Structure 1
Amino acid sequence: MTKLILRDVEIHKGFLDRAAQAEVLGSVREVVAAAPLFRPDTPYGKPMSVRMTSAGRYGWFSDRSGFRYAKQHPMGCAWPPVPQPVLNIWEKLTELQRQPDCCLINYYGEGARMGLHQDRDEADFSWPVVSVSLGDPGLFRVGNRTRGGKTESIWLESGDVVVLGGAARLTYHGVDRIKFGVGSLLPKGGRINLTLRVVD
């Protein structure tokens, strides 16, 4: 495992070995079975290119009314609990007793991307955001704490974990593209990103 710092963003390369990745993936599949993936609309009415679901007390949601957290899946059911293998990652990297309220699960299929954005729908930005990569590599772009300016990019591989905290908590970031079908963790290809957040 190697720890890198890119514009105050912590990148833990190879944090999860293959066995740990498989364990986390299995727990994610259980969440998806209970709360299926869906494709939300942006506030501008355009469907997002990723499909998503969540686990925890809240799930992240978007439609024409805006970005927000919701207590129920669009089907009306409660979100499943955050799986323990995922919580273990949070606990090891943050050393916090406070557990995350939400684990957002994004699935990137072929051609999916995520534009530069800030994670700012939470009440308190003093808590970090922890992001886990599984499956195909994704080109992670890191910007600034205000929109615009130069950016830097790094490929995130399966098992890499990113922490946005402190000075990097409101840094703009996104995923420009994935190398679809390159990884071996997901038999049908694609990238899964888990994002752990404290909401309240």
Structure 2
Amino acid sequence: MDAELFPRSRTEPAPGAVHVPDWLAPDRQRQLLKACRQWARPPAGLRTVRTPGGTMTARQVCLGLHWYPYGYARTVVDGDGAPVKPFPAWLGELGRQAVRETLGPDAARDAAYDIALINFYGADARMGMHRDSDECSDAPVVSLSLGDTCVFRFGNTRTRTRPWQDIELRSGDLFVFGGPARFAYHGVPRIHPGTGPRELGLAGRLNITLRVSGL
């Protein structure tokens, strides 16, 4: 949003969780979107994910290792069976930079990022409350947003229910959660269509989530 009355600032919704608005500059957003469009192409491209609880409305592509309910594989075992696309070194460095700037150098030292889960949200897509707990690592999770604004619901580590906080994530925003917040439940209850930067050229929302597999 241009010329806001009260510019957004960095916040810490919980110990170990940090939201940094506008962390990605517009040119970096465009570069990342270009890469996402390449990763989304088959083979091992964007797919619909089916879980025991139903079909996810957000579509997904993975890098490094392929996530499926509820584990990781080197091929798209619940899709076309192709080898998963490699995880680029520059994306891992971007993740470490994010952690250094939010949680400090000690938190980033052993964060060897090797997985990306990239979710595409259309106007009606949602993500239920869940934890990122299929990794054998407690390294911080790094979340980058592109395109339309979403409501990001960040909860607690004990239950999917309250208490939680609803945070507005816009294109270019960074959200990192580690330490005591690493296994907090979180989800996306709402997308605000048509709110992304017009110059980005993206209808919908992309969320790039970086993780350390520990595998």
TM (norm. structure 1) is 0.89
Q: Supply the distance in 2 between the matched residues of 1:85 and 1:161 (Cα, whole angstroms).
A: 17
Confirm or deny that 1:113 pairs with 2:120. Answer: no
Q: Is residue 107–residue 191 contact of structure 1 (8 Å, CA) maintained in 2?
A: yes
Confirm or deny that 1:131 pairs with 2:154. Answer: no
- Please give the secondary structure, in 1, of the residue aligned with 2:97: helix
| CA apart distance, 1:194 | 0.7
Q: 1:188 to 1:14 in 2, by over 3 A?
A: closer
Q: Supply the distance in 2 between the matched residues of 1:81 and 1:96 (Cα, whole angstroms).
A: 22
From 155, 165, 180, the equivalent of 1:143 is 155
| Partner AA of 1:157 in structure 2 | R
TM (norm. structure 2) is 0.83
What's the RMSD between the two structures over aligned residues? 1.7
Q: Is residue 147–residue 202 contact of structure 2 (8 Å, CA) maintained in 1?
A: no
| Partner AA of 1:72 in structure 2 | T
**1:112-160, Cα deviation, whole Å (9 max, x unpaired):** 01111111111122x1111111110010111111112321111100011
| Partner AA of 1:39 in structure 2 | T
From 85, 106, 109, the equivalent of 1:96 is 109
| Partner AA of 1:88 in structure 2 | E
Percent identity, aligned pairs only? Answer: 36
| Partner AA of 1:69 in structure 2 | Y
Q: 1:96 to 1:27 in 2, by over 3 A?
A: farther
| CA apart distance, 1:87 | 2.5
| CA apart distance, 1:2 | 3.8
From 8, 17, 40, the equivalent of 2:25 is 17
Q: Is residue 181–residue 188 contact of structure 1 (8 Å, CA) maintained in 2?
A: no
- Please give the secondary structure, in 1, of the residue aligned with 2:91: helix
In structure 1, the residue matched to 2:175 is: 162
In structure 2, the residue matched to 1:3 is: 10
Q: Is residue 111–residue 140 contact of structure 2 (8 Å, CA) maintained in 1?
A: no
In structure 2, the residue matched to 1:49 is: 57
Q: Is residue 24–residue 86 contact of structure 1 (8 Å, CA) maintained in 2?
A: no
Q: Supply the distance in 2 between the matched residues of 1:48 and 1:153 (Cα, whole angstroms).
A: 21
Confirm or deny that 1:80 pairs with 2:85. Answer: yes
Q: Structure 1: which 5+ residue stretches go unaligned? A: none
In structure 1, the residue matched to 2:193 is: 180
Q: Supply the distance in 2 between the matched residues of 1:113 and 1:142 (Cα, whole angstroms).
A: 14
Confirm or deny that 1:26 pairs with 2:38. Answer: no
Q: Supply the distance in 2 between the matched residues of 1:71 and 1:110 (Cα, whole angstroms).
A: 31
| Partner AA of 2:97 in structure 1 | K
| Partner AA of 1:165 in structure 2 | G
Q: Supply the distance in 2 between the matched residues of 1:60 and 1:132 (Cα, whole angstroms).
A: 18
Confirm or deny that 1:71 pairs with 2:74. Answer: yes
Q: Structure 2: which 5+ residue stretches go unaligned? A: 1-7, 100-107
